[in-house]
Chains A and B, each alone.
Chain A
Amino acid sequence: MLIDFFLSLKESGLPVSVKEYLNLCEAMQKGLAYGSVDDFYYLCRTCLIKDEANYDRFDRAFAHYFKGVENLDAALTKLFEKDIPDEWLKMLSEKTLSDEEKAQIEAMGGWDKLMETLRQRLEEQKGRHQGGNKWIGTAGTSPFGAYGFNPEGIRVGQDKSRNKSAVKVWDQREYRDYDSQVELGIRNVQMALRRLRKFARSGAEEELDLDHTIKATASNAGHLDIKMVPERHNRVKVLLFLDVGGSMDEYIHRCEELFSAAKTEFKHLEYFYFHNFFYESVWRNNRLRHTEKFSTWDVLNKYGKDYKLIIVGDATMSPYEILQPGGSVEHWNEEAGSVWLQRLLATYKNAAWINPSQEAHWQWTQSVTITRQLMGDRMYPMTVEGLDRAMKALL
């Protein structure tokens, strides 16, 4: 009886299986959700959906299929009564906007103007959609969609004290924040952490030292003498170079998270900072960068070739900074940056460059292209998929 419903869930891209559908049927047969649509909705969700990231998509699919089963309620008119917190929008957009987009916003009259327009738009929507169940700006026709504050992603002005019984639960779409396709930044890095962990775990095993046990038992006149070898720890050694300052400022948050993830994952992690590109010195403490320098030669000599080299930087600079002696923006460098990078690559065969800027933009920046060539194309975007590739290349 619910086959069409099941198929429509499948169509909307939810990972539902036949077994789960049969579970639902069984539960229905047992009378677990009798006579209440809400109960039925909860039961469907419990049986079919196994990840809160899919809750929102399920809500939409459910609403779509069962539209009109219950009378629509006017309670949603309350939705836009509350003002939108400015701080929130600002934070959200600063995280998601690229430079060009920020410039476009400035062109529109800056933040305040934009906020004003957004608020007006909300007002209009309130009037037009009274009693409906649609939220503002879905398909990107509104300028706000284009700027990345698709209000779908945030709970614009949701009134907390809404009368609960009056609103259909699935239309509240309370789980939109958990939809992985909406959330970009933090979840990505969490995923990255997971990839790094997968990579770090390889080879962790506990073993009985058989040879040693036999030998020890024999010399113990046949009495058993068990010898164990300590659990093998993750032996991956990582040398991490982080670009700081300048164009990297907007990626600081993500780099921080990547860094803290890496720090807890790898026992042997050595990290250094550089600015824009590699020259004769790097530093470890950003505050003491001018007084406490490490010679790049020392780094090369100190850490063996079994270290894996990970460089995090946007590689966005003037090409001279890479190719010309004396091209650095900060000091006079005797040798070109490319020479130093090649030295590093000659020592560390396993290397990857992780670039937090968008992959689609790489080809427009000459310095990125040059760096990619120097790296032998081993440049990866700082996304889940990119980090996955990077980790594979490093193994």
Chain B
Amino acid sequence: MKFTGSQKYITTQDLMLAVNAAISLQRPLLIKGEPGTGKTMLAEQVAASLGKPLLQWHIKSTTKAQQGLYEYDAVSRLRDSQLGDEKVNDIRNYIHQGTLWQAFNADKQVVLLIDEIDKADIEFPNDLLRELDRMEFYCYETRETIRAKHRPIIFITSNNEKELPDAFLRRCFFHYIRFPDHDTMQQIVDVHFPGLKKALLKEALQVFFDIREMPGLKKKPSTSELLDWIKLLVAEDIPVDALKSGDANKLIPPLYGALIKNEQDVHLFERLIFLSKRRG
């Protein structure tokens, strides 16, 4: 069982190795990287290419670790007891399985994505140590231990908003998705827009990397923004010439709003364009 990228997802050698190490050693893989470099996509693509079901657990600032295991709905049980419902005799009726339980309980191995773990409370990762390490947890209400039938392949993504505790990190493999270089980027675009004209792609990538190189940008455009932008260029049928920066009057690339999303960055961008125009 080996992951070698897929038709919709280009992987670099280091990412592939990290994924395969995580799969064969059955440890969670923690993925960090600039926003829009395909962290969440990775789990989807691995699941698709290995032919395994994907379970997703999206973390919010209010998410508690317990919610991933199970939740005991004491309030409805109390209500049911007052109404004399038969259901009340079995506590199992009031235990709602969380994503981790489902993943542990699945009959075949699944891919589990814990998305944006850094959004949760600082203590959140610490509450999942044993669950991720031993792949088991204890359900107090039913007095049973839930053990993974097949250790799921776990991907955890983080945007670096909070630092994760050391004990947690030690249990994971780690990979930082770097921003793709020019060649990789070309492959990525090829995969998404197979029929794209070579000339347009070349110019678009040039403009894109030029913008990324600009000093002082608050939010650099990322892969997903490039793809959006190209989609727009294709939809609007912008001619290749419009992108060529040789013409001093058309230095601002068309539809640049798809690439630059911060108001201050737009100002900075326009100012730099103005400066370079004057120089030229």
Contacts and interface: CB of A to CB of B under 8 A. Distances in A.
A211 interface: no
Contacts of A173: none
B251 to A, nearest CB: 16
B72 to A, nearest CB: 14
Interface stretch (A15-23, A140-148, A268-276, A339-347): A15-23
A43 B122 contact: no
B30 interface: yes
A33 B30 CA distance: 20
26 contacts: A20-B170, A23-B27, A23-B173, A27-B21, A27-B24, A27-B25, A32-B21, A32-B24, A39-B17, A42-B14, A45-B14, A46-B17, A46-B22, A46-B175, A50-B169, A55-B176, A85-B215, A87-B215, A88-B215, A91-B215, A91-B216, A161-B182, A194-B163, A197-B162, A201-B121, A224-B78
Interface of A: 15, 17, 19-20, 23, 26-27, 30, 32-33, 38-39, 42-43, 45-47, 49-52, 55, 85, 87-88, 91-92, 160-161, 164, 169, 174-175, 178, 194, 197-198, 201, 222-224, 226
A169 B79 CA distance: 63
A23 B29 CA distance: 13
A51 B78 contact: no
A70 B65 CA distance: 46
Given A46-B175, A85-B215, A174-B178, A52 B21 contact: no
Interface in B4-29: 13-14, 17-18, 20-22, 24-25, 27
A246 B182 CA distance: 44
B145 interface: no
Given A42-B17, A46-B174, A49-B174, 16 more contacts: A15-B166, A20-B170, A27-B21, A27-B25, A32-B17, A32-B21, A39-B17, A47-B21, A85-B215, A169-B14, A175-B176, A194-B161, A194-B163, A198-B122, A201-B122, A224-B78
Nearest to B16: A42
B32 interface: yes
Nearest to A90: B215
A23 B215 contact: no
A50 B172 CA distance: 8
A185 to B, nearest CB: 12
A353 to B, nearest CB: 27
Contacts of B216: 91
Closest 6 CB pairs of A and B: A50-B169, A52-B176, A46-B18, A42-B14, A50-B174, A42-B17
Contacts of A23: 25, 27, 173
A91 B121 CA distance: 36
B274 to A, nearest CB: 14
B17 A33 contact: yes
B86 interface: no
Interface size class of B (residues with CB under 8 A): 35 or more
Contact of A224 (B24, B82, B172, B213): B82
B141 interface: no
Contacts of A20: 170
A52 B161 CA distance: 14
B75 interface: yes
Given A201-B121, A224-B78, A224-B79, A50 B30 contact: yes
Contacts of B18: 42, 46
A51 B170 CA distance: 11
Nearest to B169: A50
Interface in B81-125: 82, 121-122
B156 to A, nearest CB: 12
Contacts of A226: 75
Contacts of A38: 13
B176 A32 contact: no
A173 B226 CA distance: 26
Contacts of A91: 215-216
Nearest to B18: A46
Interface in B148-179: 161-163, 166, 169-170, 172-176, 178
A201 B121 CA distance: 9
B181 interface: yes
